[in-house]
Amino acid sequence: MSITTAVFGTLSDGRTVTKYTIENANGTTLALLDYGAYIQSICVKDKHGIRRDVTVGFDDADGFEHRTDYQGAAAGPYANRIGGGMFTIDGVTYDLEKNEKGVTTLHGCGEYNKTLWTAQILGDNSVAMRYLRPDGLHGYPGAINAVITYTLTDNDRISIKYDCVSDKKTFMNPTDHTYFNLGGYDSGDILSHSLTLYSSRYTPVDENSIPTGACAPVADTPFDFTTTKKIGDEIDADNEQLRFTGGYDHNFCIDGADGSLKKAAEAICADTGIRLTVYTTLPGIQFYAGNFLCGVPGKGSLPMEKRTGFCLETQYYPDTPNHPAFPSCLFNAGEHYTSETVYAFDTVSD
């Protein structure tokens, strides 16, 4: 195990972005940036022994600062959407900045991924990222002390642990927004990847991608990934939910979620044999099929085209603050939000 640091680039205000690369005995690497606590790359060996970078994103600081659509981002303090950009805590209504069409608040207005975090190397295989957010930024309550710890193990597991505590009662829901392409970032679309989601229910949305409040069965819909199928099999089916979101972009309710690590998803690219298994302690997982990628230049200046990466964002359900029946992510002052998500990689043969 080793951790190396290198200057990754410079932000437009002159601050330096540092890259931390953790490497294990297999030659698997996890590269992190202190800016945005981004996962910049994950390189694993495929079934032929060829190393592939399985994350779509950028190889320059300008990309992360100006061209990002949350590729590899730490999203927070509240990942995904808050309907109407508003919620109420103990009778006080908070009117947040609405960074999506002036209607909804998405990914905490990009706060966590536009912040220079303080990185700390822990031992030979972990890096902790720390950020103390100011109370009230973007209208969002709570001075939150956020710590995200990334660890790579010798069995090719990446663990992401979150520990966040606020000085004020508030909602907390951070996530990791890595876009995966298990064929390699430069291998085209992800429609032939096979996917299993261990969720028999999902949360349907309205035309603004805000949950209706229902936890609907996936059975007999294109949202049924309880039996493995290809991402592309039904992504363009004639279905109102898929029309609202332009393809999969929905929260799935993880079966049996109880706060312990549960298997939430498994994806495989047949060409490389690379398998990603996602475990989490959280109740939900956003399966987003990269529908909004639209040719912005990414790594190697290659355009990141529609559906060339997919995200499996572990989370409390979107818009939980406005849906009391959803599992709660409201934390008292001084009460710690903690969660863990694991990305485990291995290969399968034909």
Does residue 177 have an active-site annotation? yes
Cβ pair 125, 1 in contact under 8 A: yes
Exactly one of 249, 266, 319, 340 binds ligand GLA (CB under 6 A); which one? 249
Which positions from 260 to 289 touch ligand GLA by CB under 6 A, shown as an x/- string? --------------------------x-x-
DSSP E strand boundaries for 174-273? 175-177, 179-180, 194-197, 201-203, 216-217, 229-230, 249-253, 262-268
Q: Does 56 bind ligand GLA (CB under 6 A)?
A: no
Q: Does 80 bind ligand GLA (CB under 6 A)?
A: yes
Q: Is 229 helix (H, G, I), strand (E, B) or coil?
A: strand
Q: Does 69 bind ligand GLA (CB under 6 A)?
A: yes
Q: Does 242 bind ligand GLA (CB under 6 A)?
A: no
Tokens of 168: 């004020």
Min CB(260)–ligand GLA separation in Å: 25
Q: Does 315 bind ligand GLA (CB under 6 A)?
A: no
User: 284, 206, 216: which is closest to 241 by C-alpha?
Assistant: 206
Q: Write down the catalytic residue from 138, 177, 193, 323.
A: 177
Q: Does 70 bind ligand GLA (CB under 6 A)?
A: yes
Does residue 336 have an active-site annotation? no
Residue whose CB is less far from ligand GLA, 230 or 292 = 292
Q: Is 261 helix (H, G, I), strand (E, B) or coil?
A: coil
Min CB(131)–ligand GLA separation in Å: 20
Q: Write down the catalytic residue from 23, 266, 313, 340.
A: 313
Q: What is the dihedral of CA 6, 12, 15, 20, to 10 degrees?
A: -30
User: 39, 36, 9, 44: which is closest to 21 by C-alpha?
Assistant: 39
Min CB(16)–ligand GLA separation in Å: 27
Q: Does 319 bind ligand GLA (CB under 6 A)?
A: no
User: Does residue 217 have a cis peptide bond before it, meaning omega lies within 30 degrees of 0?
Assistant: no
Q: Bridge-partner residues for 285, per DSSP?
A: 252, 314
Question: Interface residues for ligand GLA in 104-133 (CB under 6 A)?
Answer: 106
Q: Is 314 helix (H, G, I), strand (E, B) or coil?
A: strand
Residues lying near ligand GLA in the complex (CB under 6 A) are found at: 69-70, 80, 106, 209, 249, 286, 288, 292, 311, 313
